Amino acid sequence: MARGCRREQNLCHGRFKEYGYRLTMSRQAILDVLSKTKDHLSAEEIYHEVHKVYPSSGMSTVYRTLELLVDLGIVHKFHFGDGRSRYEIDRGEEHNDHHHHHLVCTKCQRVINYTDFIDDEIELLRRTEKGLSKKYNFKIVKHILQFYGLCERCKEKQ
């Protein structure tokens, strides 16, 4: 198990126990893959990575586990417009410097995590959330902010 993941691992293991879920090989492997990358992996990519370590695992388990992790708030699920879901582990949004949003190239599907301007953003989003909660009597759980456009490379090719 990767060293850098200890914190997340322990956190997740704790949360698993807490909710009465079993910590299986597959689940550990999936968590491990997600902990090690800053990318936005698709279910299939996760499946392939997991396979390298634990070759008997199946696709349905990957999907089931991801759904569980999303429900537990351990993982976030995104759509960037290429028809498949993408997954990213939660690294403690809002409370440290890992909070980020996405910049998506509509041509090559490249996704950049950016953390610039995040402080102003968080401030505004928090205000907006508060206002919206009140006005529409909504319990807001999360937000998604994505910018779409053409990346450096694709911009030039046009």
Partner DNA sequence: ACTGTTAATGGGAATGGTTCCCATTAACAG
Partner DNA sequence: CTGTTAATGGGAACCATTCCCATTAACAGT
Rounded-to-integer distance, Cα 50 and Cα 24, Å:
13
User: Which helix (DSSP H) or strand (DSSP E) does residue 44 occupy?
Assistant: helix 43-53
Binding part of the chain for DNA, among 24-32, 95-103, 118-126, 132-140 by CB under 7 A, reads 24-32
Cα–Cα distances in Å, from 137 out to 76, 124, 130? Answer: 24, 19, 10
Kindly state the smallest distance separating residue 124's Cβ from a copy of itself, in Å. 5
The verdict on 71 binding DNA (CB under 7 A) reads no
Q: Which is nearer to a copy of itself, 23 or 112 (CB)?
A: 112
Q: Which does 4 bind (CB under 5 to 8 A by kind): a copy of itself, DNA, none?
A: none
Decide if residue 96 touches DNA (CB under 7 A).
Answer: no
Q: Are the C-beta atoms of residues 146 and 101 closer than 8 Å to each other? A: yes
Is 42 a residue that touches DNA (CB under 7 A)?
Answer: yes
